[in-house]
Chain A
């Protein structure tokens, strides 16, 4: 799975489930939590999604606002485990 596919899967999940507006045009470098699009509870939901969808377990130390605020950050973190 390449970076682009992962990014699109996350984008679709976040706009559908967390922003609740599939029309929302979410940019790759947009602050999703700091921009008020989802709350920090949603980080845990993102963790579950990544486990179910990509079979990747993001450790708690990486599930933080600073490290998971944009699509770019999220996709890069998943790629890191898929590459191994």
Chain B
């Protein structure tokens, strides 16, 4: 790591997108970063390499070159284009180039060294046929391999050199109306059909206008992000928002950051970062895994907000981060929270900038028993401190509903339902899925409202949120069930909240016939390996049990919650 380097990003004042200026923005192609000029659009940062700065002019030229090349390849407005790159500048140009050509881009995770290529290819082939994908843009290395497996064209990096005559911006915008679908965000999930959340230009612009206001975005801001672009937080907050607003974006690869967490602090230090979105586990990852020698080089004083988002927020994670990095300039006022989801483009709520997130100390027994958030005080029996996600942002309404769909009063726990001006248009080519009930979107999250702020308690379903990633237990169970030695249909997967990691860890319990230690070890290894090769997560606990250990429901299904309780009790 290098020290004492400060890069001043170049910029000029420009009327940003706000609820007031919203009428002058028609589509995302009115992005300020596409207006040309010497101002910094993007800085790309990698471990042990010099940073790369892309000006607005360079950004606009590359985007228009990509758009022209896509048009020459026969991509038409409203065609679906999948981008599966390693996170890099090419993937960014491809995404915006596709939008500029009127097509619908969607970012996808790339094939990593750990994933099983055959399964990845099969998922991609299914996506291509079900969603009628017209082209896949990827790296040169990967393109020939993938091309053999799918029915649409697969294009490597040569795309950028197909056309050396960029078409002027004005020639693109004619294709797009603000009601057109701008892009898709795909849910994670390894089996079955992935849901593509279709968002219009209008929805994205409305969200960016309201959300920018909620975080007090201004011309001095610099956004720093390592988040993956196939995830709503990375795509909206860490990508579209800065480029639409002309705020410099300092971007890293999530793979690089995971291995070298101090890279984030280098980015903040060198580029005077002010805004950064992080899932809860990242606070623990930074606090526990940035080495002393690395941390000592950096100052975080330039920051306005670290925004905790996309998995349940833990007060102890904030405290851990604060205690470790107060010396670098982190203060309680910098630790904000947002509650967000792809179906709402991004944010539903945001804590006010410049204030610590509110803490609600409640009676934990009443919360789980009566489902009521009864105020308590620290030190009292069952006292539990919950971190507020803040009030709903402008043009979003939040309701808490019971199972019958009735509205619940303050401090009563129920399902969170939302209504906003930036909701999804549909789940792409999935007429069977109806996202709305009476014009309200049911989030599947459980929570309550108190003093106008939203508190999220957990999920209605069995979804596990591991390091910011949504993991469906049934997907992992399906993988485990294919491992030789495991009783097919006799495996269960659930999440275990972990204070040290600040996230839910994944636990697998599987019934096996053998009691031979060597064979059990081999099965244990095979389960771990199968999960890591066929999904984007890894199992933290693999427990092999004898036949008939697992509890089944009266209808013969594996009861996840009951097995989780049994496993926790045995673990002690």
Contacts and interface: CB of A to CB of B under 8 A. Distances in A.
Interface in B284-317: 285, 288-293
B288 A48 contact: yes
Interface in A37-84: 37-41, 43-45, 47-48, 51, 57, 59-61, 63-65
B291 A48 contact: yes
B113 interface: yes
A59 B292 CA distance: 13
A24 B467 CA distance: 24
Contact of A25 (B255, B263, B521): B521
A18 to B, nearest CB: 9
Interface string A1-27: 000000000000000000011001100
Given A25-B521, A38-B538, 10 more contacts: A21-B542, A35-B525, A36-B538, A36-B539, A37-B538, A39-B538, A40-B258, A43-B258, A43-B259, A48-B290
B130 interface: no
Nearest to B521: A25
Interface string B529-561: 111110001111110000000000000000000
Interface in B434-488: 467
B47 interface: yes
Contacts of B533: 36
19 contacts: A20-B541, A34-B114, A36-B528, A36-B531, A38-B538, A39-B537, A40-B255, A41-B258, A41-B467, A45-B289, A48-B288, A48-B289, A51-B293, A59-B48, A60-B47, A60-B259, A60-B263, A65-B113, A65-B259
Interface in B34-69: 47-48
Contacts of A36: 114, 525, 528-533, 538-539
B528 A37 contact: yes
Q: 9 closest pairs, A vs B, by CB?
A: A36-B532, A36-B528, A44-B289, A60-B47, A36-B529, A39-B538, A60-B260, A43-B259, A40-B258
B291 A57 contact: yes
Nearest to A57: B293
Contacts of A51: 291-293
The prevalent SS among residues of A at the interface is: loop
Nearest to A47: B291
B437 to A, nearest CB: 38
Contacts of B114: 33-34, 36, 65
B5 interface: no
Given A34-B113, A61-B47, A44 B258 contact: yes
A16 B95 CA distance: 43
Given A40-B258, A43-B259, A61 B289 contact: no
Interface residues of A, number: 26
Contacts, number: 78
A64 B112 CA distance: 13
Given A20-B540, A44-B285, A60 B1 contact: yes
Contact of B259 (A21, A57, A63): A63
Interface string B335-377: 0000000000000000000000000000000000000000000
Contacts of A59: 48
Question: Which of A24, A40, A44, A57 counts the most B-chain CB atoms under 10 A from its CB?
Answer: A44
Interface of B: 1, 47-48, 113-114, 255, 258-261, 263, 285, 288-293, 467, 521, 524-525, 528-533, 537-542
A47 to B, nearest CB: 6
A51 B288 CA distance: 13
Contact of A60 (B48, B521, B529, B530): B48
B168 to A, nearest CB: 42
Contacts of B524: 24
Contacts of B467: 41
Contacts of B531: 36
Contacts of A24: 521, 524
Contacts of A48: 288-291
Contacts of B525: 35-37
Given A36-B531, A36-B532, A59-B48, A64 B259 contact: yes
Contact of B289 (A20, A41, A64): A41
A44 B286 CA distance: 9
Nearest to B467: A41
A24 B518 CA distance: 11
Contacts of A39: 258, 532, 537-538
A60 B521 CA distance: 32
Nearest to A66: B113
A57 B297 CA distance: 15
A45 B255 CA distance: 15
A34 B113 CA distance: 8
A64 B533 CA distance: 18
A21 B541 CA distance: 8
Contacts of A43: 258-259
B47 to A, nearest CB: 5
B85 to A, nearest CB: 19
Contacts of B48: 59-61
A25 B288 CA distance: 26
Nearest to A63: B259
Contacts of B538: 36-39
Given A36-B538, A48-B291, A41 B285 contact: yes
A17 B476 CA distance: 23
Given A35-B528, A35-B529, A45 B288 contact: yes
B529 A44 contact: no
Nearest to A65: B113
Contacts of A40: 255, 258-259
Contacts of B528: 35-37
A21 B538 CA distance: 15
Contacts of B290: 44, 48
Question: Which of B259, B521, B539, B540 counts the most A-chain CB atoms under 10 A from its CB?
Answer: B259
Nearest to B263: A60
